[in-house]
């Protein structure tokens, strides 16, 4: 079974631009979560999508948005990029078993975004 | 406000000995705790988890202990192997309030297992 894939793996943008990152979850997984990893703040939760609806949201400004498609693939968008948005963006997927309150999340390799 | 804290940024252990990684949390709503391992240029990999109704969970060389009254958990690796060298993240979730897949991570501990 293929793992979580993220594209692109590396991206360089300039301040003020916008960027779209893509995540393909493991086949059959319906939940996709996004995290930002920076040296100063560590791994921080951005949002989670389940069945094309945002189910949980972290404390990030509205410049960060996401969506999920009917095939569970997800995209996140960052508009008006700032230098501080430089980070590793990680996507995680889970099956979301009804019988379990917690479902193990599988992470992709991440997209390294550099904002100049 | 760092709700999950790993106060040791690094730990060095000899091969074959025990590695003990510690984690403290402040949010009493957290009811599920996990440890992830991360190699450079890869995403975190799930290691072991524990629900707040337990105080210990074991999986092979890995054991997680939870002390709810102290809001503290630890990961024990016995025996430590060179391949265990990686960054270890502690994470927590408040499953009962619907935040199951929303993980709050600590800042990580770099473990180095030396020969």
CA within 13 Å, CB half, B65 = 11
A55 to chain B, minimum CA–CA distance in Å?
9
* pLDDT, tens digit (0-9, with 9 covering 90-100), for A87-109: 999 999 998 766 666 678 899 99
Query: Does A85 score more than 90 pLDDT?
Result: yes
pLDDT the model gives residue A99: 60
A105 with B100: Cβ contact below 8 A: no
Query: Does B108 score more than 80 pLDDT?
Result: yes
Q: Which of residues 85-114 of B touch A (CB under 8 A)?
A: 89, 91, 93, 95-96, 98-108
B43 with A55: Cβ contact below 8 A: no
A46 to chain B, minimum CA–CA distance in Å?
9
Mean residue pLDDT across chain B: 93
Contacts of A41 (CB under 8 A, 6+ apart): none
Residue range A52-73: mean pLDDT, rounded: 94
Least confident stretch, A7-16, A93-102, A106-115: A93-102
Give the residue from chain A lying closest to B105, CA to CA: A43
Query: Does A1 score more than 80 pLDDT?
Result: no
- pLDDT: which is higher, B2 or A76: A76
Name the percent of chain B lying above pLDDT 70.
Answer: 96
pLDDT the model gives residue B95: 76
* pLDDT, tens digit (0-9, with 9 covering 90-100), for B72-102: 999 999 999 999 999 999 999 987 676 678 8
d(CA B35, CA B17): 20
* pLDDT, tens digit (0-9, with 9 covering 90-100), for B28-75: 999 899 999 999 888 999 999 999 999 999 999 999 999 999 999 999
Give the residue from chain B lying closest to A42, CA to CA: B107
> Which residues of A have a CB under 8 Å from any CB of B?
4, 31, 33, 35, 42-45, 48, 50, 55-56, 58, 90, 92, 94, 96, 101-110
pLDDT the model gives residue A33: 95
The stretches of chain A forming alpha helices (DSSP H) are none
Residue B52, chain A, CB below 8 Å: the answer is no
* Contact (Cβ atoms closer than 8 angstroms) between residue A48 and residue A56: yes
């Amino acid at each position: 079974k293929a793992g979580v894939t993220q594209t692109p793996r590396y991206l360089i943008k300039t301040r003020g631009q916008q960027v779209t990152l893509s995540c393909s979850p493991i086949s059959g997984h319906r939940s996709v979560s996004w995290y930002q990893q920076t040296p100063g703040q560590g791994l921080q939760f951005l949002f989670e999508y389940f069945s094309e609806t945002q189910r949980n949201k972290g404390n990030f400004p509205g410049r960060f948005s996401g969506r999920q498609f009917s095939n569970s693939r997800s995209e996140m968008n960052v508009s008006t990029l700032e230098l501080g948005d430089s980070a590793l963006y990680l996507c995680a997927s889970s099956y979301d078993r009804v019988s379990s309150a917690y479902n193990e999340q599988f992470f992709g390799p991440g997209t390294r975004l550099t904002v100049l | 406000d760092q709700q999950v804290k790993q106060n040791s940024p690094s730990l060095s252990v000899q091969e074959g000995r025990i590695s003990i990684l510690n984690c403290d949390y402040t949010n009493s709503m957290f009811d599920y705790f996990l440890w992830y391992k991360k190699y450079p240029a890869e995403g975190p990999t799930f290691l072991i988890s524990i629900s707040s109704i337990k105080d210990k969970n074991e999986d092979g060389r890995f054991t997680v202990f939870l002390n709810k009254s102290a809001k503290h958990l630890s990961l024990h690796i016995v025996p430590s192997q060179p391949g265990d060298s990686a960054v270890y993240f502690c994470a927590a979730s408040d499953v009962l309030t619907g935040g199951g897949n929303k993980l709050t991570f600590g800042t990580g501990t770099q473990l180095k297992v030396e020969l």
